[in-house]
Amino acid sequence: MACSETRLVLASASPRRRELLARFGVPFEVIPARGAEPRLRDLSPGALVRTLAAGKAAEVASALPDDAVVIAADTVVELDGEILGKPGTPEKAAEMLRALSGRENRVWSGLVVRRGGVVLTADECTRVRFRTLSEEEIAAYVATGEPLDKAGAYGYQGLASLFVESIDGDYFNVVGLPLCRLGMMLRELGVELL
């Protein structure tokens, strides 16, 4: 079924996710989930992002007809088993960037595609290696304000691209929406992006 015949809803306020989905030229609505993200402990990073994405999808889907297709995602950065969320303050952003400097981190995205009672759930992991950063570089990047609202205090698609030596996995996952996986999940529900 073509997307033009399907009500497609992105359950996210993320401008990056909106831009990525818009690449396909298919009509979709943005209805961000409003509920607070619960503090979940003792979950693996993959289970955490799947659970958070499922909650967002369920919230948005509850106000829509059963034939609407809801896409929800959640992304975190993991370093040595610790989840690095959005820093919120310049000091916390600088602390996170120092920890990432010269090391590999993993970006996890949970993805849920839901239509009526059918709920497809997946997670994607991409390894990201940072080069060693100087204190001056960290301070300059933090001063831009870019890292404050990004998981792990960096946006690979933005200025932090200067810091990333390599990635192993889906680039779009690092940006926040694993497109290859999304396309396969939508196809499973009979929705084609092409």
Mean pLDDT along residues 21-35 = 92
CATH no. of 3-188: 3.90.950.10
pLDDT digits (tens, 9 = 90+) for 41-91: 789 999 999 999 999 999 999 999 999 999 999 999 999 999 998 999 999
End-to-end CA distance of the chain: 10
CA distance 72 to 54: 7
Of the candidate ranges 3-7, 13-17, 26-30, 155-159, the one whose mean pLDDT is the lowest: 3-7
Q: Cα dihedral sign for 41, 72, 168, 148?
A: negative
Give the pLDDT score at 194: 86
Q: Is the pLDDT of residue 132 over 70?
A: yes
Query: Which one of the listed residues 42, 67, 74, 170 is annotated catalytic?
Result: 74
Give the pLDDT score at 85: 87
Quick check: is 67 catalytic?
Answer: no
Mean pLDDT of the chain: 93
What's the whole-model pTM score? Answer: 0.91
Q: What angle do CA 123, 124, 126 make, to 5 degrees?
A: 150
